[in-house]
């Protein structure tokens, strides 16, 4: 089995004590590739250095809505420069977060729009974080119709929105929340969407799947999400993982290496 974890934060301080050991163990656990998702300006250079050092990693550069108030026009130059490095393929994670509102909403929208425009200009994929901001998020994405590619990360909206995102050129990623007992809505969405537009992710160290909730998440724990999705789709994890693996390369516009 080979798995692509399409969203991880291995540079999070929760991995400081054992990051090297964990990274070295991933390939034996069937984790063939991981997308390291950047969240703030300080993370851009760290992500580039990490991805250059670990050959099976891919990386993104971008500013999360939580950090939108630190975003400046120079940040765009920083992202642009980061994407010239090998295996730095996407702009993310970017979007809107009206749950925490750590940055004012108009500042979040300006930051998101500037990065969507850069992605369209550079023809790069985006990694989108949309938490309790579905209306504004979709309004903004619709303006980029025909110029969008990438991933709706940790998808939490409706089936109708998922279908529209796919129509706009995006893939739908499910994480550990798919295994939660109350995720009935997500189960229905995940079972009905076209298989060739689905992805799985961990968002580690967060969003640990059942039955390990309460412990730190890491890419090896993606198996619980894979097994849940396989059950929902009426297939086996092995077959499903192969499809999702190919989907992941298409979502990020990466040429497959084998």
Q: How far is the CB of 1 from Ni ion (least distance, A)?
A: 24
Distance CA 205, CA 29 (A): 17
Distance CA 54, CA 187 (A): 34
The smaller minimum CB distance to Ni ion, of residues 101 and 235, is found at 101
**Options 34, 203, 222, 232; binder of Ni ion; rule CB under 5 A:** 203
CB 201, CB 175: distance < 8 Å:
yes
Q: How far is the CB of 93 from Ni ion (least distance, A)?
A: 5
Q: Which stretch binds Ni ion (CB under 5 A): 31-39, 133-141, 214-222, 230-238?
A: 31-39
The smaller minimum CB distance to Ni ion, of residues 37 and 57, is found at 37
The smaller minimum CB distance to Ni ion, of residues 1 and 12, is found at 12
The smaller minimum CB distance to Ni ion, of residues 203 and 218, is found at 203
Site for Ni ion in 32-71 (CB under 5 A): 37
The backbone torsions φ and ψ at residue 194, rounded to the nearest 5 degrees and listed phi first, read -60, 130
Q: How far is the CB of 251 from Ni ion (least distance, A)?
A: 15
The smaller minimum CB distance to Ni ion, of residues 28 and 221, is found at 221
Contact call for residue 5 and Ni ion (CB under 5 A): no
The smaller minimum CB distance to Ni ion, of residues 97 and 203, is found at 203
Cβ-based neighbours of 143, under 8 Å, separated by 6 or more: 116
Between CA 249 and CA 178, with CA 51 as vertex, the angle to 5 degrees is: 50
Distance CA 170, CA 150 (A): 5
Q: Evaluate the CA torsion angle 75, 153, 202, 31 in order and state its sign.
A: negative
Q: How far is the CB of 220 from Ni ion (least distance, A)?
A: 17
Tokens of 56: 């099976």
Q: Which stretch binds Ni ion (CB under 5 A): 18-26, 44-52, 181-189, 199-207?
A: 199-207
Q: How far is the CB of 215 from Ni ion (least distance, A)?
A: 18
CB 4, CB 32: distance < 8 Å:
yes
Distance CA 113, CA 137 (A): 10
Distance CA 190, CA 195 (A): 9
Q: Which residue number has the CB closest to Ni ion?
A: 203
- Kindly state the number of chain residues that form the binding site for Ni ion, as judged by CB under 5 A: 2
Distance CA 177, CA 155 (A): 9
Q: How far is the CB of 17 from Ni ion (least distance, A)?
A: 20
The smaller minimum CB distance to Ni ion, of residues 23 and 37, is found at 37
**Facing residues of 33 across strands?**
4
What residues make contact with Ni ion under the rule CB under 5 A?
A: 37, 203
């Amino acid at each position: 089995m080979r798995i692509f974890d399409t969203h991880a934060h291995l540079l999070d301080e929760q991995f400081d004590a054992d990051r090297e050991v964990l990274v070295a163990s991933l390939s034996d656990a069937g984790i063939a590739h991981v997308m390291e998702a950047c969240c703030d300006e300080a993370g851009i250079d760290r992500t580039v250095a990490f991805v250059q050092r670990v050959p099976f990693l891919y990386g993104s550069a971008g500013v999360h809505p939580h950090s939108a108030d630190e975003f400046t026009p120079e940040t765009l130059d920083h992202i642009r420069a980061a994407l010239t490095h090998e295996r730095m393929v996407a702009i993310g994670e970017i979007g809107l977060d009206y749950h925490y509102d750590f940055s004012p909403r108009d500042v979040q929208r300006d930051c998101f729009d500037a990065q969507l425009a850069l992605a369209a200009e550079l023809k790069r994929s985006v990694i989108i974080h949309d938490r309790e901001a579905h209306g504004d998020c979709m309004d903004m994405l619709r303006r980029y119709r025909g110029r969008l590619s990438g991933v709706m990360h940790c998808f939490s909206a409706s089936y109708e929105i998922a279908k529209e995102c796919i129509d706009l050129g995006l893939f739908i990623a499910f994480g550990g929340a798919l295994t939660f007992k109350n995720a009935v809505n997500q189960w229905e969405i995940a079972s009905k969407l076209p298989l060739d537009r689905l992805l799985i992710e961990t968002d580690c160290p967060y969003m640990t799947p059942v039955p390990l909730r309460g412990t730190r998440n890491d890419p090896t724990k993606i198996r619980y999400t894979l097994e849940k999705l396989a059950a929902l789709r009426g297939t086996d994890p092995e077959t499903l993982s192969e499809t999702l693996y190919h989907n992941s390369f298409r979502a990020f516009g990466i040429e497959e290496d084998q």
